[in-house]
Amino acid sequence: MIEIILLILSIILLYYVVIRPLNYWSKKNVQTGTVIPFFGDNFYVLLGRESMTHMVERIYNKVQGVRFIGAYQFLTPMLFVKSPEVIKNICVKDFDHFVNHRTFFPDDADELWSKNLISLKGQTWKDMRSTVSPTFTSSKMRAMYVLISQKAELFVQYFLDKKEDFIKTEMKEAYRRYTADVIASTAFGLEVNSLKDKDNEFYKMGTSIANFSTFRKKLTFFMFQISHLLAKILGLALLTDNEKYFFMNLVKDTIEMREKQNIKRPDMLGILMEAKNERAKAKSTDENKRKDEEGVIENVKQDLTVGDITSQALIFFIAGFDAVSSQMCFIAYELAINPDVQKKLIEEIDRNRPANSSPSYETLLNMSYLDQVILEAQRKWPIAVVADRVVTKPYTIEPELPGEKPVHLEVGENIWIPIYAIHHDPNFYENPDKFDPERFSPENKKNIDPYSYIPFGVGPRNCIGNRFALLEIKAVFFHLLSHFEIVPVEETNIPLRISKSAINLTSENNFPLGLKKRK
C-alpha cells in the first residue's frame, strides 16, 4: 500500500514539476509544436547534435502561418515572435512594457556582469545608456577613426611584410588580434600590436574572457537557466577570479594614471570618467540645496563607481573582441567564395583609395557597395542569433489573423526575437541562403521591412556600439583589399558548417583562408 501511495505521489510530483509547466502556452492559446519534457527545446543542443542557431531556426519553423509561437528553455516559457509588426510593437511602439533583458545571472552572482549595460534594468539602465551614448556620437567616431585606421594599416602591414605572395592564415585569430588592438587603443589608450607580440597579456586575457565555448562557461549558463540557487551553491561564475582581477586592475590603474596626469581622451573610459565626476558634482550641489528644499535630489542619478565603469568597459570589450571579429570572418568567407562580389568591391576601393594616405572618415562612410556587402553579411550571418525582452508591465497582443485569440502577457514573461531565423525566412528574403549584396542596393533596400532586418537588435535597447563596429569593419576591409585578394584554401569548408559546440554563431572549423597579394 505504501509503495502504491509513493508511486502515485511520484507521478503527481512528476506531472506538476515536469509536465504541467510545458502546458503554459497552450493555456494562453499559443501554439508550441512538440516539446520534450523538462528539456523543452534545448534537448538536442545539450546532446551536441544541434547548434543554438539551428535550434532557433527549428523553433521558428515548427508552426507556419502564425505571428508567434510558444517555446521553452528547459521549463521556462519563451514567446517566439515571428511577425515584424509585433516586433515593432514590442521593441519600439510599446517599449515601456518591455524595458528589460532577461536575467541570466542574479545580481549577487557576478557583480561585474550584473552592472553592465545589457544586464541593467529600468531607470538604472536608462541612466547608464544616456551616460555611455556620447561615446558613439559622430564627432567621437570621427576622432576614434584615426586610431582605428592606424590599427587596420598595421594589421595589413603584418601580412605585407611576409615574403610570400600567397599567405594561408586562420582569419579568426587574425581578426581577433586586430579587434583586441583596436579596443586597447580606443578604450584604454594602450598601444598593443598583437600580431607581432602574440603573447601579450591583453590579448591572452581577452581570448580567455570572450571564450564562451568552454565547458565551464556553458555549464554556468545552463545551470543558471535551470536554477539560480543551485548554480550559486555550486559556486559557478561567468568569469574566473584571474579574469576579474585582470580587468578590474586594468580599468582601476588606467583611471588612476589619467587622473594623476590629467589625461583626457575621447574614448569610452574617458567619457565614463567625465560622467563619474559630473555625477559627483551634481550630487554634492543638490545635497546642499536639500537643506532648504526637501526632495530636490529625487531625480539625481546615482553615483558612478569604478565598478560601474569596469562593467561597461567589460561588455564593450567582449562585444568588440569576439562578436566583431566573428562578423569580419563571415565577410571574409563570403568574399572568398564569391569572387565576383569581391572583384566589384575591390574596384570601388581602388576608385576611392588616396595615393599615399588612408581614406578619410567621409570617404569610408560614402562607399555604397562596401555598405551593401556588410549589410548582406549581417543579414546572412547575424552575430546576435536572438534578442530578448522581459515583460515589465502587463501587455496584450490583440488578435489579427483568423483563429487568433488575445494573448495576455504577464510581468516577468520572456520574449525571444529570432534574428537569424527571420533573416533566413523566404517570406522576407528570396533565396535567403544566397549571399547577394544587391538586396541592399539603393533601389532594392527600400523594399525590405526594417523590422525583418535587425542584426544589431531594435528599439531603445539595440546595440549601442553598432556604429563603432561598422567603422572598425569598413576600415580593415578597405586596407586589406587594397593589397590582397581573399581566396579559399583546401581547408575552407564550402558550404560553411555552423559549430554545434559553440554558444555563439561561428564556423565548425574556424575560418582558414588565403591572402593573395595583388599585382
Binding residues: 463
What does the block give as the cell for 262?
590629467
Q: What H or E segment, with its residue span, contains residue 488?
A: strand 484-488
> Which parts are annotated binding residues for heme?
463
Q: Within 13 Å and on the Cβ side, how many CA atoms surround 370?
A: 26
Q: 279 in helix, strand or coil?
A: helix
DSSP-derived secondary structure letter, 410? P
Exposed, middle or buried, 127 (CB in 10 Å: 0-12/13-18/19+)? middle
What does the block give as the cell for 459?
528599439
Q: Residue 63 and residue 28: Cα distance in Å, rounded?
A: 16
In this structure, are residues 430 and 105 in contact, taking their beta carbons and an 8 Å threshold? no
Q: 125 in helix, strand or coil?
A: helix
Q: Residue 267 and residue 26: Cα distance in Å, rounded?
A: 50
Rounded (to 5) percent helix, strand, coil in the chain: 55, 10, 35
Q: DSSP string covering 181-246, please?
A: HHHHHHHH-----TTTSTT-HHHHHHHHHH---SHHHHHHHHHHHH-HHHHHHTT--SS-HHHHHH
Q: 423 in helix, strand or coil?
A: helix
Least Cα distance to 180 among 165, 169, 190, 166 occurs for 190
Q: Residue 389 and residue 91: Cα distance in Å, rounded?
A: 8
In this structure, are residues 39 and 74 in contact, taking their beta carbons and an 8 Å threshold? yes
